[in-house]
Amino acid sequence: MFKASTALIDPLLGYLWQHGATDLHLAADSVPRVRIDGKLLAVPDSPPLTSEFVGSAIRDLLSESDQQGYQAERQFDFAFSWADTARFRANAFYQLDRPALALRLIPRRSPHPNSSVCPPCAASWSPDPTAWCWSPAPPVRASPPRWPR
């Protein structure tokens, strides 16, 4: 069974994790960016990424058959684990004919219905919040919350 290698992007995933970011965006000829509190920010002291770096990062995350799908469709959706720390939802795609990668942190647990990330009416949806199917995408609002880990 294929196991994704995150070695190339480990420092960027570490930065995301340490700063409570929800997303990591990698694109050729651009500095890596993370989403913190709804704002897309450049990772400090990071040089612009090369096409080779982004392409290698994508290849390390995809099995051979998934790489074929990525090349054929010019985009590919997938998920992977980062050690025992977190899971990520990912989209590899081409931007201006160069490789790009967008990652979103998947929370390890769903928020409680009375937490600040849920709308006030959420508590009335079900008496058993463990039965919920929760989407990890943050709600659209002025200042998205930080997701529990």
| 59-80 per-position pLDDT tens digit | 999 999 999 999 999 999 999 9
Give residue 69's pLDDT.
96
Q: What is the distance between the terminal CA atoms of the chain, rounded to a whole angstrom?
A: 27
Give residue 83's pLDDT.
87
Residue 17, burial from CB neighbour count under 10 angstroms (0-12, 13-18, 19+): middle
Give residue 80's pLDDT.
96
Q: Residue 87: beta bridge partners?
A: 81, 106
Task: Give the count of beta carbons closer than 10 Å to the beta carbon of residue 25.
Answer: 20
Instruction: Report the predicted TM-score, pTM, of the whole model to 2 decimal places.
Output: 0.74
Give residue 124's pLDDT.
66
Give residue 20's pLDDT.
93
Distances (CA, A) of 11 to 55, 79, 113: 17, 19, 34
Which regions in the chain score pLDDT beneath 50?
A: 139-143
